[in-house]
Amino acid sequence: MPATICMFSKRGATNDDSSNLIDAVGNTPLIYLRSLSEATGCKIYGKAEWLNPSGSIKDRAAKQMILEAEQSGALKRGGTIVEATGGNTGLALAALGATMGYKVIVTMPNCIAEEKIALTRRFGAEVLLQPLVPFGHPENFASKAEALGQSLPNAVFTNQFENMANFRAHFTGTGAEIWKQTNGKVDAFVCACGTGGTLAGVSAFLKQASGGRVQCYLVDPHGSVLYQYVTKQLLETTPEPCSQIEGIGIGRITGNFKAAKIDGAMQCCDAEAVDMIFYLMKHEGISLGPSAALNLCGAVKVARKLSPGSCVVTVLCDAGDRYATKIFNPAWLTQYGLTPTDRGRGDLSFVK
């Protein structure tokens, strides 16, 4: 039985010479995940965000931040974009910046997958690798980017963590697309947070469109402060999340996250996400990155709470090919105790 795909036409798929790379951002397919749906009794869908131009959901925030910076006058012709990133936002800014004529400088923690670093550099961006130190430390990747943005001439620090253009990208884009693609029949949305922009924007739109009916949940990796904040209103800052899943799990409450309209939170561990990656390759024919896999672990947990036939949606942030030196490297998996189990290739018992 083939997977069901709900999608719009890509805005850039025309013969109009005025169309460019930035027009191809968004309007990604919504894919029905048969095996997960049959196992849970609910309809589970994933937004295929790896089909954005630079290969991830972060194209949406990058586009919105660039356009709003241009409109405000903060970003001028020939200027420099500076950002702190777990990889994908920097990649998106590098690709879109190249097509729009901007120089891009990104700071990253030095633990990011080699593939993302190399690809960002191939787009012409300057990549500065920073030690894994607490937020606020001058060598922290976010602190470094902010300082550069303030000191360089004709430069703007896009600040994806606090810039509400991130939220707006998902409120007007991702959330609205999900609502339309499900004909307003979505019952729950779940995803993890890096900056908080996706969960905030999508949850706010779905809550508004449904009159509060749609349930929205955070799925958080171990080491992040968000689960405790949502469930117990505790804010215990941590040096940096200890999860090996890049780009999600944070040690503070961002401005974007504060705009989220969520009903609850759950935790998933790295091992569940790794098992899900290999499960999906065998049973769904898709290769996803670890944050997308964690999102689907969360979708399974949410589906188990809902009535049979309910519609659960999440975002599939990026593809697995940019994590080959980690997720598909047996030595790396062994080092972190994440070697996939047989159950990860057979059923969903690995999702606790």
Q: Is 144 a catalytic residue?
A: no
Query: Could you give the 3-state DSSP secondary structure of residue 3?
Result: coil
| Crossing angle of helices 88-100 and 58-72, rounded to 10° | 50
Q: Is 58 a catalytic residue?
A: yes
User: CA-CA distances (angstroms) from residue 179 to 40, 198, 265, 285, 312?
Assistant: 22, 14, 22, 25, 12
Amino acid in position 333: L
Tell how strand 155-157 and strand 80-84 pair up: parallel
Residue pair 192/218 in contact by the 8 Å Cβ criterion: yes
* Alpha carbon distance 260, 329 (integer Å): 36
Residue found by looking up tokens 């130190």 in the block? 133
* Alpha carbon distance 267, 263 (integer Å): 14
Residue pair 186/179 in contact by the 8 Å Cβ criterion: yes
Tell how strand 43-48 and strand 311-316 pair up: parallel
Sequence-distant (≥ 6) Cβ neighbours of residue 337 within 8 angstroms: 271
Among 291, 301, 310, 326, the one annotated catalytic:
291
Residue found by looking up tokens 């700071």 in the block? 107
Residue found by looking up tokens 């899943």 in the block? 245
Among 47, 58, 116, 207, the one annotated catalytic:
58
User: In the beta sheet, which residues pair with residue 297?
Assistant: none
* Alpha carbon distance 171, 96 (integer Å): 21
First to last CA, the chain: 27
Residue positions counted in the chain: 352
Please list the active-site residues.
58, 291
